[in-house]
Amino acid sequence: MRKGTPSRLRPSASGAGAPGKHGDRAGGSSTMGEFELIRRFFDRGPARHAELGLGDDCALLSRRGPDTTLAITTDMLVGGRHFLEGTDPEALGHKALAVNLSDLASMGASPLAFTLALALPGADEAWLGAFSRGMFALADRFDCELIGGDTTRGPLNLCITAIGELPAGSALRRDRAEPGDDLWVSGELGGAALALASLREPHPPATGSPALGRLERPEPRVALGVALRHLARAAIDVSDGLIGDLGHICDRSRVGAEVDWPAVPLAAGLASVAAARRPALALAGGDDYELLFTAAPENRGSIEALGRAPAAPLRLTRIGRIVASSGVRILDARGVAMPIDASGYDHFG
């Protein structure tokens, strides 16, 4: 905590974006200070992997070996921008960590640890309990431990920094795609964008309901990222929409790409929307957190085998290719470029 930061978080009527009723129920929590809050909701005792976890000025993390590289990533979720106030806190805990683990996955790193910087409008115990439950449930699945953070009062803001590791030289970087590479994507696209669109309808699904699962509970493709270390060349996770994210690979690798629209795997829900709406949902909708990667054609068989792994079957689809000329082109069934209004997909447009 910085000097001058109020060290007490009062329970606010609106809670941390949760329905207000829980704030008052906290009762004694009007005296719950920052340190008690950390102890109750985030401190799970001695670190398992880190030399030193939370409780000191820094966490201490030993290097696992001389030939490993650390991968470090930060993603912030801001209330009102990345999620609606009132979003199920358990889902938020999941997503705040999931988007970071997805970044680790897209580099081929396996998760080690993370820190959590939290700004909260108040100390709402029910909200904090659900948030930490959602976050730790995901963390435990990947044996990734919380080693520190910061807690302050302010508009709801969740910022996680995740640390992963991988063998030196094996990272799946955006700048490694080569002309002639196949272009692959995991899972299905458009499901999160469809869920987001449903929130604007007259009778939106309730937060936390399965209908919003693809939006609220993305699954980081950690095992796939690790398995791709020696099979893929470049990779990125699809957080801002396929066209935009593929554009990042192309820019960094100084190449272009062609996507065969009929080959793009669509989320099941897209079957029930007008065909004309599907490209925007699947190609420009964000938040799917699937992995988009390029690989040499000689690795096709190995990559197809990966997708059939009995432990965790995951659809892997070849959707196009990397080309020498710059730009991303979407081709229809006849191989003709489809008019895609790129400006329509700019978050700042």
**Which residues are at the interface with ligand ADP (CB under 6 A)?**
1, 38, 42, 54-57, 116, 118, 146, 148-151
Q: Which partner in Mg ion, ligand ADP, none is near 222 (CB below 5 to 8 A by kind)?
A: none
Closest distance between ligand ADP and the C-beta of residue 103, in Å? 19
Contacts of 288 (CB under 8 A, 6+ apart): 187, 188, 189, 190, 191, 192, 193, 214, 218, 238, 239, 267
What is the Cα–Cα distance from 237 to 90, expressed in whole angstroms? 23
35 lies in the site for Mg ion, by CB under 5 A: no
Closest distance between Mg ion and the C-beta of residue 138, in Å? 24
Give 116 or 183: the residue with its C-beta nearer to ligand ADP.
Answer: 116
Give 147 or 316: the residue with its C-beta nearer to ligand ADP.
Answer: 147
**Pairing between β-strand 316-323 and β-strand 256-260 as defined by DSSP bridges:** antiparallel
What is the Cα–Cα distance from 336 to 147, expressed in whole angstroms? 51
Contact region with Mg ion (CB under 5 A), list: 148-156, 238-246, 305-313, 333-341: 148-156
Give 146 or 306: the residue with its C-beta nearer to ligand ADP.
Answer: 146
Q: What is the phi/psi pair of residue 298, to 5°?
A: -65, -10
1 lies in the site for Mg ion, by CB under 5 A: yes
Q: How many residues does the chain have?
A: 349
150 lies in the site for Mg ion, by CB under 5 A: yes
338 lies in the site for Mg ion, by CB under 5 A: no
Give 160 or 246: the residue with its C-beta nearer to ligand ADP.
Answer: 160
Q: What is the phi/psi pair of residue 160, to 5°?
A: -115, 140
Q: Which partner in Mg ion, ligand ADP, none is near 212 (CB below 5 to 8 A by kind)?
A: none
> Torsion-angle region of residue 155: left (phi > 0), alpha (psi -120 to 50) or beta?
beta
Give 20 or 149: the residue with its C-beta nearer to ligand ADP.
Answer: 149
Where does this chain bind Mg ion (CB under 5 A)?
1, 150
